[in-house]
Amino acid sequence: MINRKSPPEYSRVEDICFTEPEKCLFDNNIEVFTLNIGMQDVVKIEFIFNAGMWEQDIPLVATACNSMLIEGTKKYTADEIAESIDFCGSYIETGINQDLASVSLYTLNKHLAKTLPLVEEIIKNAVFPEKELDIYFNNNKQRFLVKNKKVKYIAKNKFSESLFGKQHPYNTSLNISDFDNVKRKNIIDFYKKSYCSNNCKVIISGKAEKNCIKLVEKYFGGNDWSNKNFFSDKKNLVKTTNKKRIYENKPDAVQSAIRIGRLLFNRKHAGFQNMQILNMLFGGYFGSRLMSNIREDKGYTYGIGSGIVSLKNAGYFFIATEVGVEFCEKTIDEIFREIKRLKDKKVGEDELKLVKNYMLGTILREADGPFSLAEMYKSVLQYGLNFSYYKSFIENIKKANPDLLLELANKYFDEEKMKEIIVGKI
């Protein structure tokens, strides 16, 4: 009989065996990475393009382009594509972030020959119908108007603008006029420039049968969708505001949204992994210092957290929360008190051990299954890295010590370089 009075024994994660993908090169120079480790007869094929917000010259173009790929092609309407994919029990997913855009197919191997031609149509021959574009922008304009009343949304965008500047492609803040400024021609031009063979990588994961790569090469290995004029060497200067604190008054707000942070660095920096450890302890999980103090002890908020964001051409650290209007300044004081504590006093061994176990367990959970592994590989591929990144991360977590974290806190948690965004009733 199980003894409910004693906690179960746990073992520390010592190592995770990552299977490096097999790499091949199509005749048109597309790099294909295959993780053939699935148990179920299903495969995911993801086409990745450098077609995120970084590449756009007009706000919303990259997002609209990626979202509208499935809304009709030269051969098929959106309904015909959806019906054919559904009939095979398959699924097509599009996705975009600041740097990358993707088109993914999830399908049984036996239906690959039927579904890949549909993906080919979407990637090579999208037409962006005017009617569907109008519906898309009208719907998103309404969503923007609703979201722009929320202090959390405003603070996020004001923070982005304060770090990068209004004209920088990593700036997420929008104006209502941006939805009317995008024309169909802008989207088509971006599509023709970006969704081409010389701007594409492919990750295949799951139970990839022998004919899988051959089928992908059949439909995507030719030069019929290359762009000889494709060139991406975009340079955008960051124009960080000189203001340390920015207020946005919302007289009717019940809560105030707080964003605090600074520009930092991305995954390629030697200190990034160790900063992730410091951040986890500070505000990266439910047992963090920020949560323990400001939620559990003070009761100022339901949730508070911090994070380190890695982008291809930048990186930043942030702290985010929403609090009652009357607790806003007290919360900010406590945030900086916790920062000072990290800089003045070494972390205890027991606290650090808990954080280490949590982080190692998180990596283990994220590495569960072929699709999750493919996502992990994708997140480092754009930096020219591979699974050795995670192996070194595991070693850095194990080696982390109080002296190292104290040094990092004093080096990078500089209050004078932190931007403070407050949106709410002032």
Phi, psi of 202 (to 5 degrees): -125, 135
* Least confident residue range of 44-48, 210-214, 336-340, 391-395: 210-214
Per-residue model confidence (pLDDT) at position 4: 80
Per-residue model confidence (pLDDT) at position 425: 86
The answer on pLDDT for 141 being more than 90 is yes
Per-residue model confidence (pLDDT) at position 384: 93
The answer on pLDDT for 7 being more than 80 is no
Per-residue model confidence (pLDDT) at position 230: 65
Per-residue pLDDT band for 339 (boundaries 50, 70, 90) equals very high
Per-residue model confidence (pLDDT) at position 242: 83
DSSP code at position 415: G
Mean of the per-residue pLDDT values of the chain: 94
> Which residues are bridge partners to 402 per DSSP?
none
CA gyration radius, the chain: 24
Per-residue pLDDT band for 240 (boundaries 50, 70, 90) equals confident
Per-residue model confidence (pLDDT) at position 394: 95
Per-residue pLDDT band for 9 (boundaries 50, 70, 90) equals confident
The answer on pLDDT for 1 being more than 70 is no
Cα(82)–Cα(322) distance, integer angstroms: 40
Cα(363)–Cα(344) distance, integer angstroms: 30
Mean predicted confidence (pLDDT) in 231-254: 81
Per-residue model confidence (pLDDT) at position 61: 97
Cα–Cα distances in angstroms (integers) from residue 165 to residues 231, 263, 357, 417, in the given order: 25, 12, 38, 16
The answer on pLDDT for 10 being more than 90 is no
Which of 253, 259, 332, 337 shows the shortest CA–CA distance to 300? Answer: 332
Write the pLDDT tens digit of every residue in 243-260: 899 999 998 889 999 999
The answer on pLDDT for 426 being more than 70 is yes
Q: To the nearest whole percent, how much of the chain has pLDDT over 90?
A: 87
DSSP code at position 298: S
- Helices within 367-421 (DSSP H only): 370-381, 388-399, 402-412
Per-residue model confidence (pLDDT) at position 129: 96
Mean predicted confidence (pLDDT) in 295-318: 96
> Which residues are bridge partners to 200 per DSSP?
49
Write the pLDDT tens digit of every residue in 156-192: 999 999 999 998 999 999 999 999 999 999 999 999 9
Mean predicted confidence (pLDDT) in 50-66: 96
Mean predicted confidence (pLDDT) in 399-416: 97
Cα(367)–Cα(45) distance, integer angstroms: 18
Per-residue model confidence (pLDDT) at position 282: 98
Per-residue model confidence (pLDDT) at position 5: 78
Q: Chain-centre distance of CA 110, in angstroms? A: 32
Q: What is the H or E stretch that residue 420 is in?
A: strand 419-424
The answer on pLDDT for 235 being more than 70 is no
The answer on pLDDT for 241 being more than 90 is no
Helix axes 210-220, 112-125, angle to 10 degrees: 30
Per-residue model confidence (pLDDT) at position 17: 83
